[in-house]
Amino acid sequence: MLHDLAPQLFNGLVLGAFYAIVALGLSLIMNLTGTINMAHGSFMTLAGYLAYSLVLRGTSFWFALLAAPLIAVMVGVAVERTLVRPLYRREPFYSLLMTFGLSLIAEEAFRLIWGANGVPFSPPAALAGTVSLGFMSFPVFRIFIAVVLIIAIAALAFFLTRTRYGLRLRAAVQDTEMIAALGTNTQVLYAVNFGLGIFLAGIAGVLAAAMLGLSSTSGNALLMPAFVTVIIGGMGSLFGSVIGGLLIGLTISMTTLFIPAASEVSMYILMAIVLMVRPRGLFGEEGIFG
Amino acid sequence: MTQGREIAVFAIALVVLAFGPLICPLIQLDITILSEVLVTTLAVLSVNLLLGYTGLPAFGNAAYFGLGAYGAALSVTYLHVNFEFAVLVGAAAAVAGGLLLGPFLLRRRGIYFGLLSIAFGQVFYFIAYRYTDVTGGEDGMNFPRPSLGPGFAHISIKEVQFYYIALIVFAVAMVAFRAVVRSPFGRTLVAIRQNEVRVRYLGLDTDRFIFVALLISALMAGVSGALFGLLINFAYPLILDWHQSGNFVLMMILGGAGTIWGSLVGALIYVIGKDIISTITPLWQIFLGAVFVACVLGFPRGIVGSIGALVRRRAVSEDVSANEAFDANAPIEVGRGV
Amino acid sequence: MTRRSINRRTFVTLAGAGTAAAFGIPAYLPRIGEAADTIKIGLVEPYTGTYAALAENETRGYEMAVDAWNKRGGVMGRKIELVKEDVQADPGVGAQKARKLVDQDKVVALAGTVSSAVSLSIGGVSNSLGTLFMDSGGHSDAVTGASCHWNVFRTCHSTWMETHATGNFLAKRFGKKWYLITPDYAFGHALEEGFKDVLGKIGGQIVGDALTPLGTTDFSSYLTKIDAVKPDAIIVLVQGEDYTNCLKQMAQFGLLKKYPVGGPQVELEPVLSLPPAARGGYWGVEWYYKSELTLGKNNKQAQQFVADTIKRYGQPPTARNCFGYVTGDRLIATMAEAKTTDSTKLARAIEGTRFTSIFNGSAYYRKEDHQLMWPMWIGKITEEGAGGDKFNLFDILDTEPADAIEQSVAEKEKVCKLGYP
């Protein structure tokens, strides 16, 4: 049993890293404006499809990994300006509904553009294959995902703590009116924040498309775990999203080891427990959502 | 609206609906789809009570709907009960679900309430999917439609009779719903929506009010689910999924949250609209999504709500509609929740 | 902050008028393109959702059959027309659409589906309406088992046939110690039971059974367990998108190269969405467009069908096209032969009648349970399309005759009561 444990633990952490990237994007968008983005999965799928199309036209995987999320960001910023912004003054419930509707449109649009069947997309040859870790053979690509996450977190942390704009963003989360009064263009701020969240979604989307399958309904499967991660990690805390993601990854892999039937439900149960015992989540801030 | 006018509207609506079986062939609609509208209205009413009037994001009502359907399905299959009993069992199952989940849901408000509802709903969904031996799993459960029981002369229920049964249940539900929301209890719910802290300061135990509202909501959703299962003679896990809850919420928004007739209007537009559009084009999902988005952005009061607002601009009325609370441009108060 | 130029009142009035118009639509918009005196067949398929690609291909098969018959003058002097409805893989919607097709569009028969749940729901509704229903694509045993009806026929192979076609082959080829990856719901369990039955008869053993719950996108937790038990073969029971996910991940974990892989059934559509590195293994195949074993030697009808499909749709037919074509062709042919559109008479005429079609040999819908008795094949997935044809990904190795792989009449009669009126 013990030598089953090590692979599952390691696998769970890497899986958790993936959920963490998705949750981070979601959390960023939620923290500043209270927007609950049910279309986050759709943006992920969009980036995946864009990467697929780019690679099909001959670009390298690496180029697509950066370009596809950027294109998704452009779409995201357009969406933010036209559809999301009018809802900022309203309760979060409205953004949830509106983005839900958006995800329905997106799914059908994907079907129209890229066809109803899934499309083949895989990691580049350099990242294919496994590496021997002693206690198990592990896919190189998953290690790559973990590396990407570390880079993403480091970059985000740097941006938020060391750059002036990042500072303004954090200030805006605490008090948007004040930061506006002090002269920051909040409209641009909203767009940048949303764009940042979508960028993370895009990266996660390309990685997911390579690791899992890619079809018009791909986004749905990853949306719920992302929300659960944000809840557990704590609304209002980016650090919480990372920890939450790792926790979910570990939970799923551990329950798979001991009670496989419960592994997908386990995260909902965990969420329910956290919501009842400590609704702001592990690292969340009190009072954000009542 | 004055009471007299309300009764008149209600009576006219019932009369029009009573002619359903005659109208339907003229507009190339099957009577069963009208039955589906009436049955679904009950589920929308259940969401309306919690979300429209009390302000709690009821995103998990599909759980009660599904419990109702499976309750009916299981009781007919294994206990061979008659029609009324099947509906009763379904309703009881849903209320039991409400009793079970209530204490947990009560502890939170706002979006957390919504997320907890979804989470619990998903647990029921997984159970229905997994316990194939009992529920048939993802293949669903086929079950025959029993006839009416001894009190009603064992009439077997064809589609037209089903429609009239649904109509009667709908009428009763509407009367009951109106009674609830116009009562002091109902007004307290609206007050809770506007500012729960204030209500508590007035000495009322808001938890108790919400719990009762939850049970009423579960009951209505359960009856709706049982009737739905009996309508299509089938129960399947998808009706427990959170997308189903989302559909009910959409219908409520379309028709008008916090209004009495909004639920019927919303169900009517959604069920019939979806049927028509999906026949014309496989791109119906884009239309549905677009309606959602347009509704939320420009139309948050829904149809009945907007008409009500128009009417109110002409006449001064002391009766503050719960729909008022859905003023889209009101600033968000801290701690207010959804 | 009002940026909107339309004022609210106008908006509401317009919307109100629009809704009223929308309701009137069914009254003044006769279904587009419907001619008066055609024989209508109601096609119920999931055109939206995860099965959309399969639904599209099944529909194409039906269309080819209908067109072929219409070119020959139709049936009894009338043309055939397909009336399509999207059942959205939702049994409730399926029931509603089935009713609409029979009551409003006056179809003489219903046909189609991919999802077994929808098959079962439509089976029930069609039975209460007394209308024929040809299930071309729903595989659950119950359709020709406990939930069989006199008016329901099934073309594709049953779950039992799938496991019994592949089980013996896989055991003989690789060994009898298997590791199963099973989707943890009814369908997966049915496959599991089937394989257990096969293994029981040949003394095999399931050394590991990964029950993957609903919604599993990540199989890594299950795949990491496999090395510990060292099975003779990994048997993958998951289908559709899960299948694609699973195989991709198995390739990433290096398992495809390490262990033989196989499973009860695979369709060309999901295989096409697999990257080359993830293609491999031995699987049950219900029909294939480029093999003498599946099409037969010099089967003109089959060759014509394949050529016509490529010409018309730009890609070769899959098993789904085959289901649609065989079902549609058989249904219309029976109408022509029996000179009737009455469901009861058609049912009696279809059952037991042998016919040849676009596959090797002859087949018949069994009288006792209405299952089409035709062979299944075993195919190996190749990484690249052979002979420069990017679709040619299967290498068909073996034929499994129907009688050897489906439950016997005696066993079926225990659970299936057709209930003719």
Residue B67 near residue B93, CB atoms below 8 Å: yes
Phi, then psi, of C236 in degrees rounded to 5: -100, 115
Tens-digit pLDDT profile for residues C86-116: 999 899 999 999 999 999 899 999 999 999 9
B317 pLDDT higher than 70: no
B249 in any annotated domain: yes
Q: C117 and B138 in contact by Cβ < 8 A? A: yes
Residue C122 near residue C89, CB atoms below 8 Å: no
Map out the domains of chain A as residue ranges: 13-219
DSSP C75: B
Q: Is C374 on the interface with A (CB under 8 A)?
A: no
Residue C142 with chain B: CB contacts under 8 Å: 139
> Of the candidates B34, B59, B63, which has an alpha carbon nearest to the alpha carbon of residue B47?
B59
Could you tell me which CATH class the domain C160-264 is placed in? alpha beta
Q: In angstroms, rounded to a whole number, what is the distance separating the alpha carbons of residues A12 and A14? A: 5
Q: What is the pLDDT of residue C222?
A: 85
Q: Is A247 on the interface with B (CB under 8 A)?
A: no
Q: What is the pLDDT of residue C266?
A: 93
Residue A246 near residue A20, CB atoms below 8 Å: yes
Q: What domain range includes position B161?
A: 3-326
B134 pLDDT higher than 60: yes
pTM: 0.87
Q: What is the pLDDT of residue C4?
A: 45
Residue B289 near residue A101, CB atoms below 8 Å: yes
Q: What is the pLDDT of residue B330?
A: 43
User: What is the mean pLDDT of the segment spanning B262-285?
Assistant: 91
- Mutate one of C216, C220, C393 to test the A interface: name it (highest A CB count within 10 A): C220
C216 pLDDT higher than 80: no
User: What is the mean pLDDT of the segment spanning A80-92?
Assistant: 86
Q: For chain C, what is the largest distance between any 2 Cα atoms, rounded to a whole number of angstroms? A: 77
A2 pLDDT band, cuts 50/70/90, is: low
Tens-digit pLDDT profile for residues C117-161: 999 999 999 999 999 999 999 999 999 999 999 999 999 999 999
Q: Which of B249, B293, B338 sits opposite A92 (nearest CB)?
A: B338
Q: Which of A104, A107, A279 sits opposite B112 (nearest CB)?
A: A279
Q: What is the pLDDT of residue A277?
A: 82
Residue B332 with chain A: CB contacts under 8 Å: 34, 89-91
Question: How much is the mean pLDDT over chain C?
Answer: 88
Closest-CA residue of B relative to C48 is: B282
Closest-CA residue of A relative to C4 is: A86
Residue C55 with chain A: CB contacts under 8 Å: 116
Listing DSSP states for C234-285 in one string gives EEE---HHHHHHHHHHHHHTTHHHHS-EEES---HHHHHTS-GGG---EEEE
Amino acid making up residue C249? Q
Contacts across the A-B interface (CB distance below 8 Å): 117
For A222, A238, B56, B76, C135, the CA distances from A281, given in Å and listed in that order, are 20, 12, 20, 44, 49
What is the number of structural domains in chain B? 1
Q: A257 and C270 in contact by Cβ < 8 A? A: no
Whichever domain contains B122, its CATH number is 1.10.3470
3-state secondary structure at position C206 = strand
Beta-strand ranges (E) seen in C87-176 are 109-112, 132-135, 152-154
Structure tokens at A66: 């950066």
Amino acid making up residue A192? V
3-state secondary structure at position C378 = strand
Q: Which of A97, A112, A289 sits opposite B110 (nearest CB)?
A: A289
| Nearest chain A Cα distance for residue B246, angstroms | 8
Residue C309 near residue C317, CB atoms below 8 Å: yes
| Nearest chain A Cα distance for residue B127, angstroms | 10
With pLDDT > 90 as the criterion, what percentage of chain B qualifies?
49
Q: B289 and A104 in contact by Cβ < 8 A? A: yes
Q: Which of B112, B285, B331 sits opposite A289 (nearest CB)?
A: B112
B215 in any annotated domain: yes
User: What is the mean pLDDT of the segment spanning A261-272?
Assistant: 79
User: What is the mean pLDDT of the segment spanning A274-285?
Assistant: 78
What value of ipTM does the predicted structure carry?
0.84
Please state which CATH number belongs to domain C34-157+287-374.
Answer: 3.40.50.2300
Tens-digit pLDDT profile for residues C326-335: 999 999 999 9
Q: What is the pLDDT of residue C19?
A: 53
Q: Quick check: do C34-157+287-374 and C160-264 share a fold? A: yes
Q: What is the pLDDT of residue C163?
A: 93
Amino acid making up residue C282? Y
B329 pLDDT band, cuts 50/70/90, is: very low
Position with higher pLDDT, B184 vs B299: B184
Print burial letters for C27-50: b (CB count within 10 Å at least 16), e (below 16): eeeeeeeeeeebbbbbbbbbbbbb
B336 in any annotated domain: no
Closest-CA residue of A relative to C54 is: A117
| Nearest chain A Cα distance for residue C267, angstroms | 12
